Structure 1
């Protein structure tokens, strides 16, 4: 009887479908810049995937893999912070320029933030217009 119970448990372990948590890693392959949200009203978009276009007022290089861009105002009065994760971006071309970003809006310390990890999530606004 013990062997039969053990055999059933063993078979059950290998017949149950294993599922990976694919929702935790969102790979963005195309960005939708068709309807950008103004940075002044971005707080209403928390939890949504949106495009936001505004002027990069200032930035802070935290590490070689993380740069924080402030849109719509200087820190701590920015409308949104864009967290660029990954290889360093040419920031000289961004500061003072209107740039569009696409991604999910989240709150970080009660301020809207968007994490950008792929180049497809960034677009010069002049290309948009």
Structure 2
């Protein structure tokens, strides 16, 4: 019976580890540069935003522009947000990463890429 229990624990541990590897990790901004071009998750407070068009909005995370820690670029018409209600909210975003003029950006285009904390 003990061997069966031990076998079950080992199998469960490997299953949990494989599931964890499939999810994007949560990176801080210092680690961001190493992961440009990859899909990651980052969490921070929304300080301000700028609506550039009906399909592009920039969220300044962790500080006011131009001193934000990173920018979330919301593209497309699928994401409908109350931008005025976003200031001060802590959110997590999962998206593709890039650098624009040396500043980190996370690109999102679908509602399930934003989680409100």
Report the TM-score, using the length of structure 2 for normalisation: 0.71
- The answer to whether residue 48 in structure 2 is matched with residue 58 in structure 1 is yes
Cα distance between partner residues in 2 of 1:58 and 1:75: 7
Q: Which residue of 2 aligns with 1:119?
A: 111
Q: Output one character per residue of 1:9-67: Cα deviation in whole Å (capped at 9) or x when no partner.
A: xxxxxxxxxxxxxxxxxxxxxxx46x322245433321221100000010001111111
Q: Which residue of 2 aligns with 1:29?
A: none
Kindly state the Cα deviation for residue 90 of structure 1 after the two structures are TM-superposed.
Answer: 1.3
Does structure 2 conserve the Cα–Cα contact (< 8 Å) formed by 1:38 and 1:54?
Answer: no
- The answer to whether residue 72 in structure 2 is matched with residue 72 in structure 1 is no
Cα distance between partner residues in 2 of 1:103 and 1:81: 12
Q: Output one character per residue of 1:81-104: Cα deviation in whole Å (capped at 9) or x when no partner.
A: 111012242113321110000011
Does structure 2 conserve the Cα–Cα contact (< 8 Å) formed by 1:36 and 1:53?
Answer: yes
Q: Which residue of 1 aligns with 2:81?
A: 89
Aligned pair partner of 1:101 in 85, 93, 107: 93
* Structure 1 runs, 4 residues or longer, greater than 4 Å off: none
Instruction: Report the CA distance shift for 1:99/1:39 in structure 2 as closer, same or farther (over 3 A).
Output: farther
Structure 1, unpaired ranges of 5+: 1-31
Cα distance between partner residues in 1 of 2:113 and 2:29: 16
Larger of the two Rg values belongs to structure: 1
Q: Which residue of 1 aligns with 2:102?
A: 110
